[in-house]
Amino acid sequence: MDFTLPKEHEMARQLFKDFAENEVKPLAQEVDQEHRFPRETVEKMAKYGFMGIPVPKEYGGQGCDTLTYAMCVEELSKVCGTTGVIVSAHTSLCIDPILTFGSEEQKQKYVVPLAKGEKLGAFGLTEPGAGTDAQGQQTKAVLDGDEWVLNGSKCFITNGKEADVYVIFAVTGKVEKRGRMMKEISAFIVEKGTPGFTFGTKENKMGICGSATYELIFTDCRIPKDNLLGQQGKGFNIAMHTLDGGRIGIAAQALGLAGGALETTINYVKERKQFGKAIGGFQNTQFQLADMATKVEAAKMLVYKAARKKDEYKKDPKVSYSVEAAMAKLCAAEVAMEVTTKAVQLHGGYGYIKEYDVERMMRDAKITEIYEGTSEVQRMVISAALLK
């Protein structure tokens, strides 16, 4: 088992680190406090190919692997959780399902501009009554001639309003499964600007405040028949497959938040003096840091392993990375919450002040235990595989 990263990954990490430090970190406080979507950063990331890292070159991407993509989200999130999730939702939740399930025409039309960063992507599954229970979908799509007509709403949509292309799930009928009538769910590609597709409330969140989180509203929204993604009725499978990949992105975001809080705290305890010496000289601080670093390293192993497993899947579709992705997200999200909380504690009163980065990191970390499958859902996925 080789734990040494190949040269290309070492170089890519240095690139992401430099970019994050020079271009993202200076804006992190501002986008958080002003709840401002960092459009200028997205444009810069597009210029350098960050918006299509794991996408093949023939579809406008960089032709790199999932691990490189995860490292990008990790390094961005070390300095700004908002920027990390913009890339993650765009890549994992919008590009990936179109690349995996889309027709050649759909890939050319949507993946190419998305991967080049000319367009931004989003994903709409969650509804007010359908979070963890994805079967509770109410949004409906009805075929009328050559068009699907969408009615309903989606909530908590990352990159909402800012994105140009949305992968949307809706009920298209009913099917009998094991003697029970179940909703038939299908996936669609919807473009911003389509008549009948509007945006509702912008959510006022605890963390990742620069990320745009909106309600999507569909009122007799007519989209071409060809915008059905994958087969009719396969929407639930597409959503679950997409979330498996999304979890690697969020796990990388959580890993970055934990790593960023750890680095910030190491610097702080070397400088902060109490009782005549730097607080890093006290054994309590040292033991806390040791625990934090060990947990970050453990989370990193799981996140990188899940990314590697997804790359194996790309070569052999029989490989499943679902459990690895769930373990990576469960562990990294809980480590992010624990490490950022300890980071605030080690900063003392200053850690509770908004001028200090760890205050933001702790707020940003909480969402990683909730979105793209709560920690409880990850435990369901893992235990289901153990007991099957």
What residue ranges bind other proteins (CB under 8 A)?
Answer: 6-8, 11-12, 15, 18-19, 48-50, 53, 57, 61-64, 68, 72
CB-based contacts of 124: which residues, under 8 Å, 6+ apart? 154, 157, 166, 167, 168, 169, 216
* CA dist., res. 285 & res. 199, Å (int): 47
Beta-bridge partner residues of 25: none
When the beta carbons of 47 and 277 are compared against other proteins, the nearer one is 47
When the beta carbons of 58 and 376 are compared against other proteins, the nearer one is 58
When the beta carbons of 61 and 256 are compared against other proteins, the nearer one is 61
Tally the residues of the chain: 388
* CA dist., res. 199 & res. 308, Å (int): 37
Contact 137, 170 (CB under 8 A): yes
CB-based contacts of 300: which residues, under 8 Å, 6+ apart? 255, 259
When the beta carbons of 21 and 144 are compared against other proteins, the nearer one is 21
Question: Nearest distance from residue 96's CB to other proteins, in Å?
Answer: 16
**DSSP state letter for 206:** S
Question: Nearest distance from residue 180's CB to other proteins, in Å?
Answer: 46
Q: Which of 43, 184, 372, 376 is catalytic?
A: 372
When the beta carbons of 61 and 124 are compared against other proteins, the nearer one is 61
Structure tokens at 322: 């679902």
When the beta carbons of 6 and 129 are compared against other proteins, the nearer one is 6
Q: Is 118 a catalytic residue?
A: no
Contact 132, 178 (CB under 8 A): no
Question: Nearest distance from residue 40's CB to other proteins, in Å?
Answer: 15
Question: Nearest distance from residue 78's CB to other proteins, in Å?
Answer: 17
Q: Three-state SS for 353?
A: coil
* CA dist., res. 385 & res. 167, Å (int): 28
* CA dist., res. 151 & res. 202, Å (int): 20
Q: Give the chain's count of helices (H) and strands (E).
A: 13, 10
Question: Nearest distance from residue 26's CB to other proteins, in Å?
Answer: 14
Q: Which of 56, 162, 75 is nearest to 116 (CA)?
A: 56
Active site residues: 372
